[in-house]
Structure 1
Amino acid sequence: MPEPGPAPLRLTADAWESLFRAQVAVMRRLRRDPSFQKLALGEYDVLFNLSRCPTGWTRLNELNNHLLISQPSLSRMVERLEAKGLIQRKQAPEDQRGVLLALTETGRELQRDIGAAHVRCIHALLGPVLDEAEMHQLLALTTKIRHSMENK
């Protein structure tokens, strides 16, 4: 049996459009979730990504690789989050131009609180739509896409 080849151009475009529109629809619903009254979704994304750092600290430019905002926008957001007492920064010891970021204890607590509500909201939105097998399939497909982009 021959290996399947690449998808036709039109199917690829239709699938991308569908994925993008589904993501937009879900994000619009998530923005209305009451858990994001305390912190904007984009600001929460920064806290979430910082919470996943194994050492607790990450470089500003590494954080920027996980977000959909420009470096100048991230720098301004970092200043706002630092002013709110949610993150801290310091110079990278091996590179005086580098900036390291980490959550404060207050930031970690807020991320956990919002995160727990956020997960319940996502489950309420997607749980009734996709069964367990479909969730596994969605996870596998989106992971495959993401990993292929990281290797380019």
Structure 2
Amino acid sequence: MAETRWLDEQEMATWRGFLAASNLVARRLEQQLKDEAGLSHTQYEILVHLSAAPERALRMTELAERLITSKSGLTYQVAQLEKAGLVGRRSCPSDVRGVVAFLTEPGYEALRAAAPGHVAAVRAALIDVLDREQLVVVAEALGEVARRLRD
């Protein structure tokens, strides 16, 4: 059995800083979207991904991959958006087993209404807190973490 490599002081500070910052940013953005748009952060991201897709539609499996979430969790969130009239679902024309989620016109309008407040919250919670050099370092570092974990 390999010996445990405990975190040194700097590594522990990095880990604690990451945990605190990521949890606080996530909570702040979740609350802002709930208060101002009546959406969860996951629901907002679903609308964003659908709005950017060709014909504002994606297969549910592809949408789950883009959101880095489980298919069952995505199905629940899409069902909530569907009840609100913001998203619809239909069979995939190329695969009868597949389901496509699509953005409705009210969904697109909800996204357009929510986006300015959300961007302002992202700026206040993260982007405007860091200078340009820090933004580059954070983007590169977290991008590397994401790449390794996806492999």
Bin of the TM-score, shorter chain as denominator length: 0.7 to 0.9
Deviations 1:38-78 (A, max 9, x none): 22222212212222324422111111123354322321221
Is 1:65 paired with 2:65?
yes
Structure 2: how far apart are the matches of 1:147 and 1:88?
31
Structure 2: how far apart are the matches of 1:97 and 1:63?
16
Q: Percent identity?
A: 29
Deviations 1:80-135 (A, max 9, x none): 21121101221111110100111111111211221221111111222452112111
SS in structure 2 of the partner of residue 97 of structure 1: strand
Alignment of 1:19-38 (within 5 A): 19-33=18-32, 35-37=33-35, 38=38
- Residue 114 of structure 2 corresponds to 114
Amino acid at match of 1:36: K
Could you state the TM-score of these two structures normalised by the residue count of structure 1? 0.79
Structure 2: how far apart are the matches of 1:53 and 1:16?
35
Give 5+ residue unaligned stretches, structure 1: 1-7
Residues 68 and 20 of structure 1: CA distance in aligned 2, closer, same or farther (over 3 Å): farther
- Residue 87 of structure 1 corresponds to 87
Could you state the TM-score of these two structures normalised by the residue count of structure 2? 0.80
Aligned residues: 143
Amino acid at match of 2:42: G
- Residue 10 of structure 1 corresponds to 7
Structure 1: how far apart are the matches of 2:81 and 2:128?
35
Structure 1: how far apart are the matches of 2:52 and 2:146?
17
SS in structure 1 of the partner of residue 88 of structure 2: strand
SS in structure 2 of the partner of residue 118 of structure 1: helix
Higher helix share goes to which structure?
2
Amino acid at match of 1:94: S
Structure 1: how far apart are the matches of 2:98 and 2:54?
18
Residues 62 and 16 of structure 1: CA distance in aligned 2, closer, same or farther (over 3 Å): farther
Amino acid at match of 1:48: V
